[in-house]
Structure 1
Amino acid sequence: MSTAHHHAVEEEIQRLLALGSSRPGPLPVQDHGELWGALSSAVQGGKRFRPALLVSTHEALGGRRDAAAVQVGAALELLHTAFVVQDDVIDGDLVRRGMPSLPGSVAAAARDRGADPRGAQRIGQAAGILAGDLGLVAALRAVARCEAPAPVVDRLLDLFESTLHGSAAGELADVRLQLGRADSPTVLREALAVAELKTALYSFQLPLRAGALLADASPEVLEVLDEIGGLLGIGFQLFDDLLGMFGDEQRTGKSALGDLREGKRTALIAHAATTSAWDELAGLLGDAELGEAEALRARALLTDCGSRTWVEDLARWHVARAAEVAARSRLPAAMVASLDLATAEILRAADLTLPRPTALPASEGLPA
C-alpha cells in the first residue's frame, strides 16, 4: 500500500472514530464515552496489515474505486479491533501490543475509582464485550456507506457477515479445543481448522476478496485468492503460536508465558503430545503460577523433541504453497507481486522475532 493510501486509511479510521463518539446524540451517556474511548485507544498503533492487503489487492487488480477501498479498509481495521478486544475477554489477556488490553485498562480504571478486584475485572470484561459490539456495528455501517455501486456493497456486506459467522464459530471451537485433552489424536486437525476460521478467514481471505470485489474481479480470481488466503492465514497463525511460546516479548508485545500458563492447545503442543517429551512437558502446562525457569524448561523440551522445527516447517510450507498457487495462477503480475510482498513480510516477521534458543542444562536452574 502506498504512503498516500496509508494516510488515507488512517484518516478514514480517525473519521469513523470521531463519528462514533457522537452516536448517543444529545444524551449525556458517560459510559458510552468510556467504551468508545477505550475502543478508539485500542485501534491506535496497529500495523494496518489488513487494510493494506485490501487496498493493495484492489490496486493490483486494476480497481478504480480508491475511495471505497480506503473506506472498506478502515472498516476492516475496526472489525479487527472488535475481534481483538473480545478475544482478550475470552482468553483473559490483560496485555496487547505491549500495553494493557482494553479489558485490562478499563479494569484498572475501575480499581482507581474504588472498585474491588473482582468487580473491576467484571467491569473490564463487560467493557471488552460491549466495545467489541460497538466496533462491529461501526464496521458494518462503514461498509454499507462506502462509495461503491449498490450491488458491490451488497456483496461486501454478505462477505463481512459470513466472515463474522465463521470467525465466531472458530472462536467457540477454539474454546472447546482448549478444554479437551492435548494428546487427543484429533487435536492437530482441530487446531488447524481453528486457525483457518479464526485467522485465515478474516485476516487474509476477507481483505483479499473485498479488494477483489471492489475491482470487479472474476469468480476464478476470487477462488484463487480464497485458496491463497487460507494458506497464508494458517501459516501466519502457526508462526503466531510459535511467537506465543518462543517470541521476544519486547519485540512482539505478547507474553511468552501466557500460552504455557493457559496450556493452550496449539499445533505445537499437539505435535509434542506425540513425542517422548510429553510426560514431562504435560506437567508444565496449564499452571497459572508457572515461572520463568519452568518456562525455559518447557521451551527446551519443545525444541529438543522436534516440535518447534516441525511447526516452523509446517508454517513455511503453507506460506510457500500460497506463493506457488499465486505463481501458477493467471493472476495479474501486479497481484502476484503484492502477494509475494505479503508472504515475505510474514517470513521476515517470523525470522526477526523467533531467535533459535539452545537447550539449557539443568545446572542453570531448570527443574530436573
Structure 2
Amino acid sequence: MLAINHWKRNDTPIAQRPGRFVRDRSPLRDRSMSPATRRRLRAPAAGLFDLATPDPGYLSRVESEIAAFAERAGHRCAPALESSVEFARQLGRACDGGKRLRPVLVEAAYRGFGGTDAEAPVLLGAAFEMLHSALLIHDDVIDRDSVRRGRPNIRSVYRDRLARDGVDSAAAAHAGDAVAIVAGDVLLAGSVRLAARAAARGAHPDLVGECFEDAVVASAAGELEDVLLSCLPTVPAPAPERVLDMESLKTAAYSFDAPLRAGALLAGASPGDAADLGAIGRRFGLAYQIVDDLLGTFGDSTRTGKPSDSDLLEGKVTVVTAFGLARDPDLASVLEGVRDGRLPPATARAALRHAGADRHAYGLAADLVEEGASLAGSLLPAGPLADAVVSIGRRVLDREA
C-alpha cells in the first residue's frame, strides 16, 4: 500500500496532534529555540550531507557511472545524429550538481548491514540519483520552471536556443517541453537498468528491484496528487494530512525511504529490518520536503538555485499553504489573487507569515526529525548506521538549498 502515513503515532496523524497549530517556531534560522535545542537539531559545520565512509571514492564512482550513461546515450543510435550528441551533453549537465543525498543513503544502509561489494552500491546509488534527475526534469515541465540548480534547465535551454534561431515562441516552448520529457524518460529508463544491475549482485535481487519500482510508482502517485490538488479551488482548503500524504509519496518515498531500504536489502538485510530503516527514512524525508516547501516560498533564490515565486504563482498546494489556510481561511483570496496575477507573490508571503504558517511548518518538520531520531534509537543497534542516519536526518532542518 503506497499511501501509508509513516509519521503516524497512536493512529493520530502528526498534523492533527494537539498544539500543532499553536507552535511558535521560526523557520530555517529559528531564534526562539534555546541554544541547546538548536545544537541538538542542527548539523555539524561540515558539508550538509557529507559523511565518513569506508569507501572514500564512492561518490566519485557514482558520478562516473552517471557520466558514462550520458556519454553512451549520445552514441547508441545508428545512424549517429548530431542532435543526439548534444542531447547527451545536456543529459549529463542535467545530472550535474546536487547534494547526492540518495547515493549517500544507499551507501550508509549497505555498509551498515555489512555489505562488502564495491560495485553494487555504486550502481544503486547512481540509479537513485538518475531517477532523481529524471523526476526533476519532468517536474520542471509540470511546474513550468526554467531554472534548476541556479542555471537554465534543459527545457529552457532548448526553448531559448530555438527562439534565437527564429522559431515562434509558442513552438519553441512546446519543443523545449518535449525535449525535457524525452530527457526525463531516457534517464528514468537508465536508472531502472542500473538498479537491475545492482540488484543482481545482491542477496535479494527481486526485493531490491521491487523497492526501486515502488519508489518510481510512489513518486508518480504523489506527482499526480500534486497536480490535481493544484487544480482545485482554494476553498475549501485541502486538509494538511492530505498534503502530507502527497508529499510523503512524491518525495520522501524515493528520496529517503527507498534508498535506505534498497541499500539494506542489497546487503542482505531482512525485509523487516529494511522496512524499519525505511520507516525512519520516511520521517526524515517528509521533514526534508516540508523544509523544501518553506524554501520554495520564503527562500533566497540565489541560494536555492530555483525561483522562490513559482509555487505561489502556480497555485501549488504545500504544507505551508495548507497550514496557513487552516489558520486563516481569508488567505484563500490572497493566494488566488497571486495565482491570477492580480497580486504580487510578496503579498502572499506576508500573509502566510502573519498566519504563522512558516512557524507551524517548521515545527512539524522538527517534530518529524525528532520522531525519526527516536525511532532510530529504538529500532537500530547503536553504531555507525544509526549515527549516520540520524546525522543526515538532523541536517535536513539546516538546509538553505
TM exceeds 0.5?
A: yes
Deviations 1:212-263 (A, max 9, x none): 0111112221121121122111111111000011101111112111112112
Range with bigger deviation, 210-219 or 281-290: 281-290
TM-superposed CA distance for 1:181, in Å, is 2.5
Describe the shift of the 1:44–1:330 C-alpha distance in structure 2 as closer, same or farther (beyond 3 A). Answer: closer
**Is 1:94 matched with 2:155?**
no
SS in 1 for 2:308: coil
- For residue 53 of structure 1, what is the aligned residue in structure 2? 105
- For residue 39 of structure 2, what is the aligned residue in structure 1? none
Q: Which amino acid aligns with 2:250?
A: K
Distance 2:380 2:284 in 1: 19
- For residue 300 of structure 1, what is the aligned residue in structure 2? 350
**Is 1:272 matched with 2:324?**
yes
The answer as to whether partners of 1:20 and 1:138 remain within 8 angstroms in 2 is no
Describe the shift of the 1:15–1:345 C-alpha distance in structure 2 as closer, same or farther (beyond 3 A). Answer: same
Comparing both structures, which one devotes a greater share of its residues to helix?
Answer: 1
- For residue 16 of structure 1, what is the aligned residue in structure 2? 69
Deviations 1:177-236 (A, max 9, x none): 001123425342221111011101110111101110111112221121121122111111
Describe the shift of the 1:279–1:125 C-alpha distance in structure 2 as closer, same or farther (beyond 3 A). Answer: closer
Deviations 1:288-308 (A, max 9, x none): 475xxx333322221121111
Deviations 1:294-332 (A, max 9, x none): 333322221121111111101111111111100111335
The answer as to whether partners of 1:260 and 1:284 remain within 8 angstroms in 2 is no
Equivalent of 2:85 in 29, 33, 41: 33
Distance 2:75 2:224 in 1: 33
Describe the shift of the 1:147–1:177 C-alpha distance in structure 2 as closer, same or farther (beyond 3 A). Answer: closer
SS in 2 for 1:264: coil
SS in 2 for 1:22: coil
The answer as to whether partners of 1:167 and 1:201 remain within 8 angstroms in 2 is yes
**Is 1:132 matched with 2:205?**
no
Range with bigger deviation, 67-76 or 137-146: 137-146
**Is 1:73 matched with 2:129?**
no
The answer as to whether partners of 2:338 and 2:345 remain within 8 angstroms in 1 is no
Distance 1:23 1:279 in 2: 51
SS in 2 for 1:274: helix
**Is 1:170 matched with 2:222?**
yes
Distance 1:147 1:269 in 2: 40
Distance 2:333 2:342 in 1: 17
The answer as to whether partners of 2:159 and 2:172 remain within 8 angstroms in 1 is yes
Distance 2:129 2:380 in 1: 29
Under a length normalisation based on structure 2, what TM-score does the superposition of the two structures give? 0.81
After superposition, residues 220-299 of structure 1 pair within 5 angstroms as 220-276=272-328, 277-278=330-331, 281-288=334-341, 294-299=344-349
Distance 1:74 1:16 in 2: 10
- For residue 361 of structure 2, what is the aligned residue in structure 1? 311
- For residue 199 of structure 1, what is the aligned residue in structure 2? 251
- For residue 360 of structure 1, what is the aligned residue in structure 2? none
Equivalent of 2:269 in 211, 217, 228: 217
After superposition, residues 332-351 of structure 1 pair within 5 angstroms as 332-349=382-399
Q: Which amino acid aligns with 1:297?
A: T
The answer as to whether partners of 1:61 and 1:334 remain within 8 angstroms in 2 is no
Distance 1:164 1:304 in 2: 37
SS in 2 for 1:9: helix
Distance 2:391 2:380 in 1: 18
- For residue 376 of structure 2, what is the aligned residue in structure 1? 326
The answer as to whether partners of 1:143 and 1:153 remain within 8 angstroms in 2 is no
Deviations 1:4-54 (A, max 9, x none): 212221222222222222221x31233433433222110011221111111
- For residue 366 of structure 1, what is the aligned residue in structure 2? none
**Is 1:112 matched with 2:161?**
no
Q: Which amino acid aligns with 2:393?
A: T
Q: Unaligned stretches of 5+ in structure 1?
A: 354-368
Deviations 1:151-174 (A, max 9, x none): 633322222222212211211111
- For residue 362 of structure 1, what is the aligned residue in structure 2? none
Aligned residues: 347
Distance 2:112 2:165 in 1: 51
Distance 2:169 2:199 in 1: 47
The answer as to whether partners of 1:78 and 1:136 remain within 8 angstroms in 2 is yes
Distance 1:337 1:296 in 2: 40
TM-superposed CA distance for 1:176, in Å, is 0.3
The answer as to whether partners of 2:199 and 2:266 remain within 8 angstroms in 1 is no
Equivalent of 2:210 in 139, 158, 177: 158
TM-superposed CA distance for 1:66, in Å, is 2.4
Q: Unaligned stretches of 5+ in structure 2?
A: 1-50
TM-superposed CA distance for 1:107, in Å, is 0.8
The answer as to whether partners of 2:287 and 2:397 remain within 8 angstroms in 1 is no
The answer as to whether partners of 1:177 and 1:190 remain within 8 angstroms in 2 is no
Equivalent of 1:121 in 166, 173, 194: 173
Range with bigger deviation, 278-287 or 155-164: 278-287
